Amino acid sequence: MKHIRIFDTTLRDGEQSPGANLTPAEKLMIAKQLEKMNVDIIEAGFPISSKGSFEAVEAIAKEVKKPVICALARTNKEDIDAAWNAIKHAKKPRIHVFVATSQIHMEHKLKKSPEEVIKMASEAVKYAKSFCEDIEFSPEDASRSDIDYMCRVIEAAVAAGATTINIPDTVGYAHPDEYGSRFRYVQENVANIKGAILSAHCHNDLGLATANSLAAIENGATQIEGTINGIGERAGNVALEEVIMALKTRKDYYDADTAINTKEIFRTSRMVSKLTGMPIQWNKAIVGRNAFSHEAGIHQHGVLSYKKTYEIMSSEDIGWEGENIVFGKLSGKHAVEDVLKKAGITLNKEQVLQVTAKIKELSDKQKQIEQSDVIALALDTLNQLNEGEEIIKLDEWSVLTGNKITPSSTVGLTIDGEKKVGTAAGVGPVDAASNAIKSVIGPFIHLKEYNLKAITGGTDALASVSIKLEDNQRNVFVSEAVEPDVIMASVKAIIKGANKALVFKKRHKKE
């Protein structure tokens, strides 16, 4: 059976999703969970792109030992130097070099001739090879490149030392038969390709990313690149969980498998969703809320009689776990630790005690606290730890609202040690509170997106508010807060996001 390597680019290509900003600490947490899932390669980031990206890749290289740790670089020495300096502490380092090979990219983006691009690719791979043995090369926009020219570039990259050749469908343009044929053509027409690993990197602009990735496997690819939940540029990348479970479920057809611990898929999916602020659609294959749900009477009868009548895979295979523990004021830290361990969340003893104390406090206000409430409280505690420098602190807030008055709010904030008070009106209580905060910190940010959900059912449910703030430079900042009061959760989320924006602004000025 053919072994397929899984190359996870959630922390690089996935983070390029609009609004999916992750802190270095959050990236490290996801990398450690990917290690538990047993992915073969983690593309930890694009180190030259920012100081934060470099720091995240460096931290992952130092602490995550089992998978290959990969960093992305363009075909210039500055990029490659940054990539190497970020991953040089990795037990298994890889540098991934790319350059566009389609006519449209060479002419309009690179403004280089085909011969110049071949030279760029060859020299960059050689330079990267001087740092480490494991070098991946990608001819960007391969599916729209002239196939014979693409083969010339690949041959030059392999001759220069590339050990993995990735053939990316960068803009999600390819048809499965067409994409698969490129892999066959490369094997038949690149003289020195034998011994190199062939990789597929598919985007989902036409909804064909999974089909294209599987077509690549059928035609010689032994590495698949993608992201958890399919996040990424535009319509996203191939969702790795879909390829992994397709191979596992249809071993009879593909005669291929991965080394993935599939029981970690569900918790990895939920972690990525929480930390990026990107919800998973209910009918998402493999990890969606409805993926193993049945409402129609005929289906229910069939599944109750024999699960395989309507389920082609087991929910247990991906690590799905139902809620069977109820929390209240008599609950202790051991139950909290057990739930968090199963969710892939690591807190220190003090943080566990903070979550436990919050559960006890909430149990007097709620009839029942579910496992999802506990996870939300833990992530909120963890986010507080990872927020970094706290420029703004909330002292107090109040809201006046009713059916015959204009909602208004007053907030008391401490900004860099100076106490300030702001008052404003709005179309509703949350809008009024947001305007009151802006009246104190200034108009340089505005609320771009606001999402409210109850963690569990009932009027006494915890409120989870996730927001996206945008500054006047169009930088987007994601934050979340969990509280039993909707407006309190909203105020805290806005202040967390404003802190991120101010810290970013402060650091950017220094740089």
The pLDDT tens digits of the residues spanning 183-202 come to 999 999 999 999 999 999 99
Question: Does residue 109 sit within a domain?
Answer: yes
Question: Does residue 231 sit within a domain?
Answer: yes
Q: Domain check: are 62 and 159 in the same one? A: yes
Question: Does residue 167 sit within a domain?
Answer: yes
Question: Does residue 139 sit within a domain?
Answer: yes
Q: Domain check: are 185 and 198 in the same one? A: yes
Task: Give the pLDDT score at 456.
Answer: 64
Q: Domain check: are 360 and 222 in the same one? A: no
Query: 187: domain range?
Result: 2-276
CB distance 6 to 39 below 8 Å:
yes
Task: Give the pLDDT score at 296.
Answer: 45
The tally of CA atoms less than 13 A away on the side-chain side of residue 331 is 29
Bridge-based pairing state of the strands 463-471 and 445-454 = antiparallel
Residue 435 belongs to domain with CATH number: 3.30.160.270
Q: Domain check: are 181 and 97 in the same one? A: yes
Q: Domain check: are 97 and 240 in the same one? A: yes
Residue 212 belongs to domain with CATH number: 3.20.20.70
In whole angstroms, give the CA distance from residue 358 to residue 382. Answer: 14
Question: Does residue 326 sit within a domain?
Answer: no
Question: Does residue 282 sit within a domain?
Answer: no
Residue stretches of the chain with pLDDT short of 50: 295-297, 300-301, 322-325, 367, 385
CB distance 179 to 199 below 8 Å:
no
Task: Give the pLDDT score at 302.
Answer: 62
H/E element holding 278? none
Task: Give the pLDDT score at 297.
Answer: 44
CB distance 466 to 493 below 8 Å:
yes
Locate the DSSP E strands across 366-425: 392-402, 405-415, 418-425
Domain count, the chain: 4
Question: Does residue 45 sit within a domain?
Answer: yes
Q: Domain check: are 304 and 436 in the same one? A: no
Residue 369 φ then ψ, to 5°: -115, 125
Task: Give the pLDDT score at 323.
Answer: 42
Residue 3 φ then ψ, to 5°: -90, 130
CB distance 101 to 149 below 8 Å:
yes
Q: Domain check: are 11 and 140 in the same one? A: yes
Question: Does residue 75 sit within a domain?
Answer: yes
User: Residue 434: CB partners within 8 Å, gap ≥ 6?
Assistant: 426, 447, 490, 494
CB distance 378 to 347 below 8 Å:
yes
State the amino acid at position 304 in one-letter form: L
Given the structure tokens 């596992």, which residue do they identify?
Answer: 248
H/E element holding 377? helix 371-386
Task: Give the pLDDT score at 322.
Answer: 47
Q: Where are the alpha helices (DSSP H) in 168-264?
A: 176-189, 209-218, 240-249, 251-254
Q: Domain check: are 381 and 366 in the same one? A: yes
Residue 56 φ then ψ, to 5°: -65, -45
Instruction: Record the pTM.
Output: 0.71
Q: Domain check: are 163 and 270 in the same one? A: yes
Q: Domain check: are 201 and 298 in the same one? A: no
User: Residue 73: CB partners within 8 Å, gap ≥ 6?
Assistant: 46, 47, 48, 79, 80, 82, 83, 95, 96, 97, 98, 124, 128
The DSSP output letter for 366 is -
Task: Give the pLDDT score at 100.
Answer: 97
Q: Domain check: are 473 and 414 in the same one? A: yes
Q: Domain check: are 222 and 255 in the same one? A: yes
